[in-house]
Structure formats: structure tokens, C-alpha cells
Amino acid sequence: MKRTTITPVFVDFIPEELNEGVIYISETYKTIVHRCCCGCGEEVVTPLSPVDWQLIREGKLITIRPSIGNWNYPCQSHYLITRNKVEWAGGMTKLQIQRVQERDRKDKELYIAQIISHKTTVTEHDVNKATLNSWLSDLWAALKNWWSH
């Protein structure tokens, strides 16, 4: 039976047994898990990250964005969770699903490339800073030597 509401439960660790109608949220491990809202019983794992899903908390109410599309399950259900309410979205064709999955893959690749680029920039900055510090230390030693004569 299709759900119209879901109850959030905040946990450190996701339990092995999932109750119907409950969405388990581990902010520590940036993971959300629940049984598919269509009633098929499939376990839906939703990772939280800037390029996956985002969780919005309003007291005891949660909103998850973007929509949850269970394309790899036979039910292929598609819904949003807004303030603990399940909002059913329309079905998608195979081509639409492929386009969404391709866009998601490209978004993740870009995000990872940006992280790697930032780390490279930080590393280069640290090397340049170390080189400058070494040069300043040598200059200071030379000036002290000059003043002492």
C-alpha cells in the first residue's frame, strides 16, 4: 500500500530490521534508509552529500531533496518527502531515467574533480609557503651574520 506519510527516526546506526513507514536517518554517517514508500518492501538507501540528497530538518519534520527514484527496483517508484509527507511523482520512461542517471554521474565526477583540484591547490600553497619560509629563514641568518661583523 502506498504511503502518504513517513516518520523520521534519528539514529547513529541504521538498524538491521526496518519498520514500514519509518525513515531512519544517521547524520553521523550521512545516510538515510527506509522501506520503499510504495509498499514493495525494498530497502532504499539514500546517501546525503552535496551531489546526492540533502536533508532539511524543521523540528520533527524532515524534507529530502531531490526526489527519490527507485529505478533499480521492479516498482520504479518515484516520490518526494516533504515535511514527513510522501508526495508521489509521475513515472519516467527508460530514456528519462538514463538521462537523470547520466546527469547525476556527471555531477559527481565534477564534484570529485573540484575536491581534488582544491586539495592540489592547498598542497601547492603549502609547498610555496614552506619555500618562502625557508628563504626568509636563510635571509634572516644572512642579515644576522652581516650585522655581527
pLDDT at 138: 56
pLDDT of the residue at 139 = 53
Residue pair 78/88 in contact (Cβ under 8 Å)? The answer is yes
pLDDT tens, per residue, the chain with 149 residues: 899 999 999 999 999 999 999 999 999 999 999 999 999 999 999 999 988 999 999 999 999 999 999 989 999 999 999 999 999 998 889 999 999 889 888 988 888 888 888 765 545 455 455 554 555 455 555 555 566 65
Whole-number pLDDT of residue 141: 59
pLDDT at 119: 66
- Contact between 69 and 78 (Cβ < 8 Å): yes
CB 48 within 8 A of CB 64: no
